[in-house]
A and B are shown apart, each in its own frame.
Chain A
Amino acid sequence: MGNLNLLNAKGVSRRDFMKLIGATIAALGLPELFVPQAANAMEQALEKPPVIWLEGMDCTGCTESTIASLNPSAAELILDMISLRYHETIMAGSGNKSEEAYQEALKDNFILVVEGSVPSKEDRYCMVGGKPFRKTLIEAAQKARVIIAVGSCASEGGGIPGACATGAVGVSEILKAEGISTPLINLPCCPVKPTTLMGTILYYLTYQKVPPLDQQNRPLAFYGTLLHDNCPRRGHFENGEYLTDWNDPLQKEYCLILKGCKGPKTYTDCAQVWWNDNTNFCINAGSPCSGCSEKNFYQEFSPLYSKQENFKLPGIGQVNADTVGKTVGGAAAVGIGVHLIATAASGRLKKQGHKEDM
């Protein structure tokens, strides 16, 4: 009961708290068994963790995405789950009042969330409160207990700004340059997916440690699977059925490889956990995956709407259009690797009316 009283004193009733935990876990698709464990751990921790949310060279899209969450709601996130001490877009105070809030929060054991990239060539490209954003980030990063870089801009490589002339980089590059060892979690995607962010925070609070990460510091729980392997259109890919005309109802669910889909190179849970309250995701909307959860995605994957020539398939290595072309003949010039070869070899391509002049 002691814990419960303290929880109450934080402004959250036990019922609200359990509802929040339950909803978060359901939204993340985690087993219900996780609920008591998460609730217990959070009660033990007795905290609404203080959060400083810094925005650098950003578009506020990750903030907008976070508050697009319906279950748990944005209000539950902001008022019940965390103590949002500093967030330029949301906080009441301005100017010296916001600076005051920031300085106070720095004294606490806070979680640092970073949205947007950091200019590495010229500090004056991003000044906040009269100070270079880069310096504010360094100061906060040194004192934070953990750093969560949300979205592609703050993650390694700096997303789209990383392709620009400002020398924009993500948080990891700054930490490296400054020798800061605070644990870093990258949550790329343009914007960050709210379930990914909330799940990461919940995991951290439950276990008091950083979740298992991949080489790009992304939590394996959300970035551990290849989109292509879970794609609802995978069957059409295997069958050699590729969308060429968005108007054709017959092609509506076809594979988007010819429209530039980067699913075969992209690690994300988009196929399993959809956006906006599980309403939709790019591929379901007929749009090719841009690969936005991958490092330097825009540099690596542009042009976005052209078929990628080289797809590295797990365990197979490089296979490009020419190789495939030589192997299966003209085969509609679909450079998609061994799956296609297998498909062509099994004769399924013919059935789909693709040109075969082998």
Chain B
Amino acid sequence: MAKIVVDPLTRIEGHLRIEVEVENNKVSDAHVIGTMYRGIEPMLRGRDPRDATYVTERVCGVCAGAHGWASSLALDAAFGAKVPAGGRIIRNLIIGAMWLHDHVLHFYHLSALDYIDIMAIAQYQGKDAGLLAVKDKVLKLVAAGDTAPLTPRYKPDEFSVNDPELVTMSVAHYLKALEMQAKAKKMSALFAGKQPHQSSIIVGGVTMLPTIETVEQYRSLLLEQIDFIEKVYLTDVLTFGTGPLLPLAQAGIGGGSPNYLSYGGYARDDEGKDLFLKAGILMDGDLNKVLPISEAKITEDVQYSWYKASANGKTPYTEDTIPDLDKKDAYTFVKAPRYDGKPMEVGPLARMLVMKPKGLMDILTKYNIKPGAVARHAARAYETLLLSKELLNWCDALEKEMGLKNFRIHDTEHWDAPATGQGAGMTEAARGSLGHFIKIEDHKIANYQMVVPTTWNFSPRDDQGIRGPVEQALIGVPVPDPDNPVNVVRVVRSLDPCLACAIHLIDPVTNDIKKYQIGW
């Protein structure tokens, strides 16, 4: 038995350490370890509640906007603010553009290098001027003996794509995608002030009163994104997934948890009932039965986390959390959230399995692709396409609203913090379900907490000793060469970890939070 440690696991957000044990060339046990803690929520106590949006926005610069969004939803509920249609749609446009950036960046810049043998470029014999320029560029870097940051790397393996044409095209698209993710941020910034770390989304709505010119500028950039998503991103994912990576896809490498959760998000009406991304639960591998979410079934365990065991209970509203760095058996700063006692996978695959869009399901069925690393990339790409088309509808909807006499973007009546109040904002971030919870006393934050996507996916064992979703996903992953655990990092990265989000101190909330707003 060999023990393999990957630390730092790079090309993710935050600091992650993975320890796996390998027997007979396969992973037999796994520990995922969050190694950083900032303690942002306790610091919020006693502050003006409106600060929470600004501060929690900065929990993560990759999920940029998502925390500000969830925080505003929680504050909207606590303040009793009714976000006008204009504010709701602009929030959707700000966040939606960031997802286009996020998913594309994840595939090309965080993941793709695990699947291609980049040095195959040298063998490219084609005539395409663009690809020849890419070949020329890389060969010059090689000749100069300076191929950072593309090397050093794990050695290519049996699943690595080494077709010179495909590899050269992938590198060209890596460079093109760098431009597209920057342009997506620019789109978002049109309404958001800047990205990452937007300033526009606040309690009650947004601050940027748009002009038609701004909407049209957004639309024009969006059309360029849609073109790229259809012709390049989705095409690449399908070319890889149904081509060289089909064996990985059909074997369901990195499948893991058979349970999926989506809070849903992006409201299309003022009541928050019509969500673009649907809410639902799938349990025990039964993909046909979408169950409603019962928030009361969410609990958190800490036996294996560097926190003291709570005397007050296990729901996110009642638990205590006090750090204990010397605790026996504990191995991570991440807690272990469970739904009905079970680990849940969140993220694009969970959302798409809940929604079952026909185009994606047809592909998965036709090629017999099982839930796993490759399916996650496919779900993420397909979701990007659906979202990009929906953003066009929201541009139309916004322009229609702007034509109304009483066009509004903000609930000014509810700008000042109430004496007391509480609220939850439950929505989706690019990498999965995200919830913010606030309690206000004496016009100040009495308590604040976040339950974030990576806490679900990268949770440690729970009190029953049951592994978290990624720990499960790693079991059985082939590692023929212990010095080259490339399949391990493929599986981990397919879940798009964001450790800065996952690792934070949650303080006790003594009362139940009864108000929710989902997705708006």
Contacts and interface: CB of A to CB of B under 8 A. Distances in A.
Contact of B500 (A59, A83, A93, A279): A59
**Interface size class of chain A, counting residues whose CB lies under 8 Å from the partner chain:** 35 or more
Contact of A92 (B6, B36, B153, B412): B153
Given A129-B7, A166-B37, A11 B144 contact: yes
A287 B48 contact: no
B200 interface: yes
B515 interface: no
A284 B43 contact: no
Contacts of A290: 54, 199
A355 interface: no
A124 B34 CA distance: 11
B61 A61 contact: yes
Contacts, number: 273
Contact of A286 (B14, B61, B207): B207
A98 B118 CA distance: 17
A355 to B, nearest CB: 19
Interface in A315-357: none
B10 interface: yes
Contacts of A282: 193-194, 199
A14 interface: no
Contact of B6 (A89, A95, A252): A95
A45 interface: no
B10 A91 contact: yes
B175 A59 contact: no
B212 to A, nearest CB: 13
A276 B199 CA distance: 13
Contact of B209 (A163, A164, A166, A246): A246
Interface stretch (B178-186, B251-259, B292-300, B374-382): B178-186
Contacts of A69: 182
B353 interface: no
A280 B10 contact: no
Interface string A130-155: 10010000000000000000000000
Contacts of B188: 276
A282 B8 CA distance: 35
B149 interface: yes
Interface string B109-152: 11001000010000000000000000001001101101011111
Given A9-B144, A85-B148, A275-B193, A128 B61 contact: no
Nearest to A16: B137
B431 interface: no
A245 B84 CA distance: 13
B175 A247 contact: no
B189 interface: yes
A171 to B, nearest CB: 17
A92 B500 contact: no
B36 A57 contact: yes
B39 A286 contact: no
Interface in A212-268: 244-247, 249, 252
Nearest to A194: B182
Nearest to B41: A164
B151 A92 contact: yes
Interface string A58-72: 111111110111100
B461 interface: no
A285 B51 CA distance: 18
B325 interface: yes
Contacts of B190: 279-280
Contacts of A91: 10-11, 148-149
Contacts of B8: 88, 94-95, 98, 128-129
Interface in A270-320: 275-277, 279-282, 284-287, 290, 298, 302-306
Contact of A280 (B13, B140, B148, B189): B189
A68 B209 contact: no
Query: In the complex, which of the residues A55, A161, A287 has the most CB atoms of chain B within 10 Å of its own CB atom?
Result: A287
B178 A60 contact: no
Contacts of B476: none
Contacts of A11: 137, 140-141, 143-144, 146
A53 to B, nearest CB: 9
B470 to A, nearest CB: 15
Interface stretch (A24-32, A34-42, A74-82, A201-209): A74-82
Nearest to A87: B149
A83 B147 CA distance: 8
Contacts of A111: none
Contact of B178 (A59, A67, A126, A129): A67
Nearest to A283: B193
A249 B408 CA distance: 10
Contacts of B500: 58-60
A306 B192 CA distance: 20
Contact of A165 (B42, B48, B191, B409): B42
B15 A126 contact: yes
A97 B47 contact: no
Given A94-B154, A101-B148, A285-B208, A277 B186 contact: yes
B148 A95 contact: no
Interface in B442-485: 485
A75 B35 contact: no
A93 B178 contact: no
B12 interface: yes
Contact of A94 (B6, B59, B84): B6
A73 interface: yes
B36 A127 contact: yes
Given A67-B182, A160-B55, A282-B193, A59 B60 contact: yes
Given A61-B62, A128-B7, A276-B194, 19 more contacts: A59-B59, A59-B62, A64-B185, A65-B61, A73-B178, A89-B10, A90-B11, A91-B10, A95-B5, A97-B152, A127-B17, A160-B58, A168-B38, A191-B196, A246-B207, A276-B182, A302-B51, A303-B47, A304-B51
Which 5 residue pairs of A and B lie closest in terms of their CB atoms, listed nearest first? A61-B61, A285-B193, A303-B48, A287-B199, A275-B194
Interface of B: 5-15, 17, 35-40, 42-43, 47-48, 50-51, 54-55, 58-62, 64, 84, 109-110, 113, 118, 137, 140-141, 143-144, 146, 148-154, 175, 178-179, 181-183, 185-186, 188-197, 199-200, 202, 205-209, 325, 407-410, 412, 485, 489, 500
30 contacts: A10-B146, A11-B140, A55-B15, A58-B61, A61-B58, A61-B62, A70-B183, A74-B179, A75-B178, A85-B148, A88-B8, A91-B148, A105-B148, A126-B36, A130-B7, A133-B36, A164-B40, A164-B43, A247-B410, A275-B189, A275-B193, A276-B185, A279-B190, A280-B194, A281-B193, A282-B193, A287-B202, A290-B199, A305-B50, A305-B202
Interface of A: 8-12, 48, 50, 55, 57-65, 67-70, 73-75, 78-79, 83-95, 97-98, 100-101, 105, 122, 124-130, 133, 160-161, 163-166, 168, 190-191, 244-247, 249, 252, 275-277, 279-282, 284-287, 290, 298, 302-306
